[in-house]
Amino acid sequence: MFKRACVFFLGLFAAGSLVAGALASELRPNSGGPYFEGPVYFGFSDFSANASTIEDKLVSAILGEVVIARAAGLTRDDKDWPAAAVYVAAYSFTSKKLADALVYAAQKGCEVTVVMDKKQSQGKGSLASFLASNGVAVFLDASHNAMHSKYIICLSQDAVYTGSYNFTENAKKNAENIVGLAGNPFLVMMYLRDFMGHIEHAEIFSPKTA
């Protein structure tokens, strides 16, 4: 299902990127902050207060997909194109609160896929097995010295969350930051393209053979 959805998105990407490129050329610095303003709507939310707040914000974003999936009355098997989906690229994943949110989303009809660094997935506290055993599709990427991407795509919200924040318990002790970018489907397409690139050379994780 994930690959069929990605083919659909790539079909739009060629035409969409031309439009996005033209619109992006009109974006201009916003004097009120470090972001940009222009004809394309960008919804920026700076979640840099503290790491615990960041974790709660990400959980809320994930659960937002659940609300949309349940409102649509769909399960992952109803359509080739998911009504709601969460795609996560993670260098390391040890946050139990985020893992619980992803599992809940998967069990309530969202398509949930995680790709993470293979070496980190074998480390102490990794929740790769927990996720894979509870309805989340987990892929392990060993094609890089370190698969260090860190972002969450909430498909039905046209939203991407990215920043320095690692999805780990230790991150709660750090000074971290993350930004939410919403309302731009073309931006989501670009992140999906990156995500698909990792999936293409990653291996599916099976807790039974781990």
Per residue in 47-70, pLDDT tens?
555 666 788 889 999 999 998 888
Q: How far apart are CA 40 and CA 53, in angstroms?
A: 28
Contact of 120 with 82, CB cutoff 8 Å: no
Assign 31 to helix, strand or coil. coil
Q: How far apart are CA 148 and CA 143, in angstroms?
A: 11
Residue 147 confidence (pLDDT) above 50: yes
Structure tokens at 181: 């970018």
Residues 6+ apart with CB under 8 A from 172: 51, 52, 55
The more confidently predicted of residues 106 and 7 is 106
Structure tokens at 64: 């937002």
Contact of 118 with 142, CB cutoff 8 Å: yes
DSSP 8-class letter at 26: T
Q: How far apart are CA 35 and CA 154, in angstroms?
A: 21
Average pLDDT over residues 2-29: 42
Structure tokens at 186: 């073309």
pLDDT band for position 95 (50/70/90)? very high
pLDDT of amino acid 5: 52
